[in-house]
Amino acid sequence: MAVIKDSGERTVFSSGACRDMHAGKGRCDLMPLDVVAEVLEANDCYGEVISYLNRFLIDHDVEYIYAAIRHAICEQDMFDGCAYTMMLEEAIHFEEGAEKYGENNWQKGLPINCYIDSAIRHYLKWSRGDNDERHDRAFMWNLMCCAWEVQQDREEKAADTMAENLKSDEREYGYKHGMVDGLAWALDWLGVKRGGDEA
Say yes or no to pLDDT of 180 above 60. Answer: no
- Report d(CA 174, CA 199) in Å as an integer: 26
pLDDT in tens, 79-98: 999 999 999 999 999 999 99
Say yes or no to pLDDT of 155 above 80. Answer: no
CA dihedral 180, 181, 182, 188 (to 10 degrees): 120
pLDDT in tens, 109-131: 888 999 999 999 999 999 999 99
Say yes or no to pLDDT of 3 above 90. Answer: no
Q: What is the pTM of this model?
A: 0.73
At what angle are helices 63-74 and 135-177 packed, to 10 degrees?
Answer: 160
- Which of 13, 3, 31 has its CA nearest to residue 137? 3
Say yes or no to pLDDT of 21 above 60. Answer: yes
Identify each DSSP E strand in 81-184 by its residue range.
Answer: none
- Report d(CA 41, CA 123) in Å as an integer: 15
Average of per-residue pLDDT across 166-182: 58
Q: How far apart are the first and last CA of the chain?
A: 59
pLDDT in tens, 38-84: 999 887 777 999 999 999 999 999 999 999 999 999 988 999 999 99
